[in-house]
Amino acid sequence: MPNAATGVVIVGAGHAGGSAAAFLRQFGWQGAVTLIGSEAVFPYQRPPLSKAWLKGTAALSDLELRPADFYANNDIDVRLGTTVSAIDRAEKVIKLGDGETLAYGRLILATGSKLRKLPVPGMDLKPVLELRTNLDADRIKAELQPGRRLIIVGGGYVGLEVAASARTLGAEVVVIEREPRLLARVASTALSEHVFAHHDSKGVRIELGASVAAISGDGGGRVTGVQLADGRTIEGDAVVVGIGASGHDALARAAGLTCSDGIKVDAAARTSDPHIYAIGDCSNRQLMLYWRDMRLESVPNAVEQAKQAASDICGKPVALAEVPWFWSDQFDMRLQMAGLPFDVATTVLRGDPATGKFAVFHLKGDGCVQAVEAVNMTPEYMAGRVLIGKRSIIDPGRLADTTIPLKQLLL
């Protein structure tokens, strides 16, 4: 006899899971809501961990998605420090790490992403760190003293944000990137070059096209630096690895849900099982704007999908998909990106990188705006978001001409 429970159980108490619990109540869900998180703290925002948190300008209460009493006040049963070992779809129960089973009417998987490990010798040396949780951030923070030499493996957003924070606090910083440019997977060449120059001007040493062969130690278990594949040695006191992540879809896979680079979901965050949803970093969603499916790692994506799942569960219409967007703060650079540069034929530069303010627009062959990347140029970013959402066709010459106000381009 299948279980008749009707409550919603959310696995994962990050930005996506925490938001889903709040949206369910906001949208009038009257049944039980259980939020299960493996970390010891209530849902919090991860983006500040590499910035304000490292620099000591934010407290954990600033990072919390909602105050601790919000959950009790909204009758949300939060189980912290709790892991989930299996999903039994036939019985509609999940098994917790301690052996307890919990029945669900609807299940929302918000299991996040899993950091890639650097496959080299010496990873057991101390301190070799990574950044996912507030505890990880605390371990990095402890290393950020003036004069300490920090080696960051990976020139992606997380690595570069940590580099900027560390340098601001006076640490010596070397960033090692395997690709020939920074942000190789996620940014245009123009943006990569600008970010490189800016970090360089602030004293961050960047090694491009450099692979780490091993972490080296002093024989007593302490890090002394890294060995590169080209034979060079870079000396340092601590290593932070930030080389990307993959969707945490192990539970879903074991339960037989359709997965491919994350848990496959539709535009309402529904998985291949009608009683199970997947949201945030762990999901691989339809992006109608680009006729593609992909996994997005971002807060806006987590919030948007949390809203989709909660709407669907509450019988509300699911909102139309938003234009994906991202932001990053490094030193005095605010980077804002919208859309994704698929099928791009032309890139258009608006503004002058030498002034520290510019935007790169990515257009298809027919002039349709697919993506924008802006550095300290928020109006261009916001206008870009509108253009992308409307699938506007723009003349590249006019877009590059800063004497033509943006407002005219939006007409």
List contacts with another protein (CB under 8 A): 19, 22, 25-26, 45, 47-48, 63, 65-67, 70, 74, 299-300, 303, 307, 322, 325, 327, 329, 334, 336, 378-379, 382-383, 385-386, 389, 406, 410
Q: State whether residue 3 is helix, strand or coil.
A: coil
Could you tell me the smallest distance in angstroms from the CB atom of residue 302 to another protein?
Answer: 9
Output 7 or 300, the one with its CB closest to another protein.
300
Starting at the edge strand found earlier in the chain, the sheet holding 263-264 runs 263-264, 283-287, 292-294
Output 393 or 410, the one with its CB closest to another protein.
410
Q: State whether residue 140 is helix, strand or coil.
A: helix
Could you tell me the smallest distance in angstroms from the CB atom of residue 273 to another protein?
Answer: 27
Q: State whether residue 115 is helix, strand or coil.
A: strand
For residue 245, list its beta bridge partners. 115
What is the spatial distance between Cα 221 and Cα 124, in angstroms, rounded to a whole number? 8
What one-character DSSP code corresponds to residue 383?
Answer: H
Query: H/E element holding 129?
Result: strand 128-130
Could you tell me the smallest distance in angstroms from the CB atom of residue 12 to another protein?
Answer: 18
In the Cβ-directed half-sphere of 396, how many Cα atoms lie within 13 Å?
Answer: 16
- Residue spans of alpha helices (H) in 332-377: none
Query: H/E element holding 275?
Result: none
Tokens of 296: 């997005």
Could you tell me the smallest distance in angstroms from the CB atom of residue 398 to another protein?
Answer: 17
Could you tell me the smallest distance in angstroms from the CB atom of residue 389 to another protein?
Answer: 8
For residue 176, list its beta bridge partners. 153, 207
CA dihedral 51, 54, 55, 61 (to 10 degrees): 90
Output 61 or 260, the one with its CB closest to another protein.
61
Output 21 or 187, the one with its CB closest to another protein.
21
Tokens of 48: 């500040």
What is the spatial distance between Cα 319 and Cα 368, in angstroms, rounded to a whole number? 23
Could you tell me the smallest distance in angstroms from the CB atom of residue 108 to another protein?
Answer: 17
Could you tell me the smallest distance in angstroms from the CB atom of residue 380 to another protein?
Answer: 9
Output 143 or 281, the one with its CB closest to another protein.
281
Q: State whether residue 318 is helix, strand or coil.
A: coil
Tokens of 17: 């899971």
Could you tell me the smallest distance in angstroms from the CB atom of residue 60 to another protein?
Answer: 13
Output 14 or 225, the one with its CB closest to another protein.
14
Could you tell me the smallest distance in angstroms from the CB atom of residue 132 to another protein?
Answer: 17
Output 216 or 301, the one with its CB closest to another protein.
301
Output 228 or 318, the one with its CB closest to another protein.
318
- Residue spans of alpha helices (H) in 314-355: none
For residue 352, list its beta bridge partners. 357
Q: What angle do CA 276, 279, 283 make, to 5 degrees?
A: 95
Output 8 or 176, the one with its CB closest to another protein.
8
